[in-house]
């Protein structure tokens, strides 16, 4: 496996919480730089579960609900703003243009994007792509860096 990809095994939701905590710590270390993270994986893979723990680790104390119907949930945290997207219900990628999508992808912002393929070319390119695959009863997380900032984060992760 290339040096830019790490794999983590999650046997339980608690393992996913630990993976999310490590990634959130990595993001904090790269602040004030922001990060665009695509979350890939089928329905029920664990994208929202991961996002919930990740956003809480970044300092959010309340609930994290799935942006299934709102498409975007914003979190204004102390050190960073997080935008959590779920584009599953996006009928046409062009809708993102009308939503002012470009304004969301800026410095000092972490964007988590579930179903990024629905956004086609309207999304900023990813620094990290996290692919979640179900195994027997657990999950495999593939974390791939696609930019210098993503590689910096991945190289500092415990493995």
Give the interface with ligand ATP as residue ranges (CB under 6 A). 10, 12-13, 15-16, 41, 43-49, 66, 86, 88, 114, 138-139
Helix-, strand-, coil-residue percentages of the chain, each rounded to 5:
35, 25, 40
> How far is Cα 76 from Cα 96, in angstroms, rounded to an integer?
21
By a kind-dependent CB cut-off of 5 to 8 A, residue 134 interacts, out of ligand ATP, Mg ion, none, with: none
For residue 19, the minimal CB distance to ligand ATP (Å) is 9
**Interface residue with Mg ion, options 40, 47, 71, 153 (CB under 5 A):** 47
144 interacts with Mg ion by CB under 5 A? no
Residue number, nearest CB to ligand ATP: 46
Q: State phi, psi for 80 to the nearest 5 degrees.
A: -160, 155
Contact flag: residue 84 with Mg ion (CB under 5 A): no
Classify 151 in phi/psi space as left (phi over 0), alpha (psi -120 to 50) or beta.
Answer: alpha
Of 55-63, 90-98, 113-121, 124-132, the segment contacting Mg ion by CB under 5 A is 113-121
Nearest distance, CB of residue 138 and Mg ion, angstroms? 18
Contacts to Mg ion by CB under 5 A: 47-48, 66, 114
């Amino acid at each position: 496996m290339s040096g830019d990809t790490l794999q983590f095994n999650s046997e339980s939701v608690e393992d996913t919480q630990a993976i999310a905590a490590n990634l959130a710590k990595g993001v904090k270390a790269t602040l004030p730089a922001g990060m665009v993270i695509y979350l890939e994986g089928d329905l029920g893979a664990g994208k929202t579960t991961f996002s919930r723990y990740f956003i809480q680790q970044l300092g959010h104390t309340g609930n994290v609900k799935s942006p299934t119907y709102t498409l975007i949930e914003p979190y204004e945290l102390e050190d960073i703003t997080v935008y959590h997207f779920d584009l599953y219900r996006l009928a046409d990628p062009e809708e993102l243009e009308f939503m002012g999508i470009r304004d969301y992808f800026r410095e000092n912002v972490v964007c988590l994007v579930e179903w990024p393929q629905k956004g086609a070319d309207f999304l900023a390119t990813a620094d990290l792509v996290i692919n979640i695959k179900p195994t027997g009863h657990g999950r495999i997380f593939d974390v791939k860096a696609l930019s210098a900032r993503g590689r910096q984060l991945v190289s500092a992760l415990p493995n």
